[in-house]
């Protein structure tokens, strides 16, 4: 690109959206710089997706060791050290962050350390230094949303960012919000012996998931000893000398209750990091809640400025940010790309035990949209591999349009179901139907056979149930 600017592309923010956008831009021959105020890899690699998965692995092992009788082993004096689990999670995160640094060097991307701010539509200022660009990709992410009047002090009131690095466990933890973050932390802390209570205002945990799926997770968590308060609103949080008091209201009965704990983890979603980065100066439009408005190729209302990832609020997930980053870079380079306008095909995963994975519409959403449905369901208790693993809870559910057999949604709960999604999202992307999935021979015994069986079931001829 010939122009009077320092760079063809400058990316603001080095999370899974930003660094991927920078790599794709550099691959396409664009002179690229990336501005990051803190850590390459962003929240996902440093404080979110990656370190939590390391902690969940520890929790899974503890859970398995508790099932010794079933598997025929016993021992005395098991000791678990949560500090080591946290240390391991930091090592995993740090290794990946170093890997991102290597990728920046390998692709000839200049990393500018510091807080970047737009000063006009083509200029960013970073710690007093001016950087100009023909195109700008904003990837500043989001931060935890808090309840009105609540400040996270890192001692009694925590966000995921503080919870992920604390090495001392509380005796009693109250979690406000039963989305993926709340449920994953509930799973980890409970495995390490913490008395956990989860408060969710909506009627069931994992409120964006199919109610049948959520019911399986809720049953498992209650069996673990986690107290789940569904349909319960958090009215007030107060810190005391000894910990916290959380006043909640059970919406169905109208009764109030005061929960007492050592800490509260607020996990009610995120809000965009759109303030203070100079959007107004550059003329970039946001909606009323601060999310930057974009089209299907991530362009803002200022055509050479793009916004990707959590900042645009389309679907705040790391893999969505990465996909958007690729589309933005390809659009800038004039390369062939695949615009993103349907986010229902984006995978949604929760990594507690049992795992949850879904794409598309829930049954209720599909009926609301006016479809006549055929639903195929297959339980893991009829799957040989799941029985061999001792993981029989859960199911695969395929929702299809009865007329054209289009796959409208897939909802899974059970062992390693997050790894089973790609076959189904690929099927939806290529407009395959359950016929093709059912005829695609799946290796035996594997968990993936449950997908084939659910496809058969949707067509009215399940084989093994």
Q: What amino acid positions are annotated as catalytic residues? A: 444
Tokens (6 digits) for 241: 């000398």
Chain-centre distance for alpha carbon 179: 9
H or E element in which residue 285 lies: none
C-alpha span between 43 and 163 (Å, rounded): 13
Helix residue ranges, H only, 241-283 = 279-282
Collapsing DSSP to helix, strand or coil, 365 comes out as helix
Question: E strands of 216-368, at which residues?
Answer: 227-230, 232-239, 244-250, 256-261, 263-266, 270-272, 305-307, 348-350, 355-360
* C-beta atoms surrounding 208 within 10 Å: 12
C-alpha span between 136 and 8 (Å, rounded): 8
CB of 169 within 8 A of CB of 192?
yes
C-alpha span between 63 and 68 (Å, rounded): 10
């Amino acid at each position: 690109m010939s122009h009077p600017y320092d760079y063809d592309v400058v990316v603001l923010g080095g999370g899974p959206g930003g660094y991927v956008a920078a790599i794709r831009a550099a691959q396409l021959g664009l002179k690229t710089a990336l501005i990051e105020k803190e850590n390459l890899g962003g929240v996902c690699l440093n404080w979110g997706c990656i370190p939590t998965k390391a902690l969940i692995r520890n929790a899974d092992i503890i859970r398995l060791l508790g099932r010794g009788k079933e598997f025929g082993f016993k021992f005395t004096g098991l000791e678990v050290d949560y500090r080591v689990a946290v240390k391991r999670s930091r090592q995993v995160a740090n290794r990946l962050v170093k890997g991102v640094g290597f990728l920046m060097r390998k692709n000839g991307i200049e990393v500018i350390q510091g807080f970047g701010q737009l000063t006009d539509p083509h200029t960013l200022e970073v710690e007093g230094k001016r950087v100009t660009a023909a195109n700008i990709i904003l990837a500043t992410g989001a931060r935890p949303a808090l309840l009105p009047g609540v400040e996270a002090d890192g001692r009694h009131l925590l966000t995921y960012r503080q919870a992920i690095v604390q090495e001392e466990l509380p005796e009693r933890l109250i979690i406000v919000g039963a989305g993926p973050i709340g449920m994953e932390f509930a799973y980890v802390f409970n495995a390490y012996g913490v008395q956990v209570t989860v408060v969710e205002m909506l009627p069931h945990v994992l409120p964006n998931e199919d109610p049948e799926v959520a019911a399986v997770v809720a049953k498992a968590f209650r069996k673990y000893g986690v107290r789940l308060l569904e349909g319960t609103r958090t009215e007030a949080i107060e810190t005391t000398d000894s910990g916290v008091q959380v006043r909640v209201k059970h919406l169905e009965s109208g009764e109030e209750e005061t929960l007492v704990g050592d800490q509260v983890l607020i996990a009610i979603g995120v809000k965009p990091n759109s303030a203070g980065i100079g959007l107004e100066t550059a003329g970039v439009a946001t909606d009323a809640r601060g999310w930057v408005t974009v089209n299907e190729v991530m362009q803002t209302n200022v055509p050479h400025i793009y916004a990707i990832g959590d900042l645009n609020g389309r679907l705040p997930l790391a893999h969505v940010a990465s996909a958007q980053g690729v589309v933005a870079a390809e659009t800038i380079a004039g390369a062939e790309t695949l615009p993103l306008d349907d986010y229902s095909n984006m995978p949604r995963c929760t990594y507690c035990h049992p795992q949850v994975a879904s794409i598309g519409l829930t049954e209720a959403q599909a009926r609301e949209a006016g479809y006549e449905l055929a639903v195929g369901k297959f339980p893991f208790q009829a799957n040989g591999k799941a029985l061999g693993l001792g993981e029989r809870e859960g199911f695969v559910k395929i929702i299809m349009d009865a007329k054209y057999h289009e796959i409208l949604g897939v909802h899974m709960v059970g062992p390693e179901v997050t790894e089973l999604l790609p076959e189904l999202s690929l099927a939806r992307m290529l407009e395959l139907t359950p016929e093709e999935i059912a005829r695609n021979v799946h290796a035996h015994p594997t968990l993936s056979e449950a997908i084939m069986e659910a496809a058969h079931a949707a067509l009215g001829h399940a084989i093994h149930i």
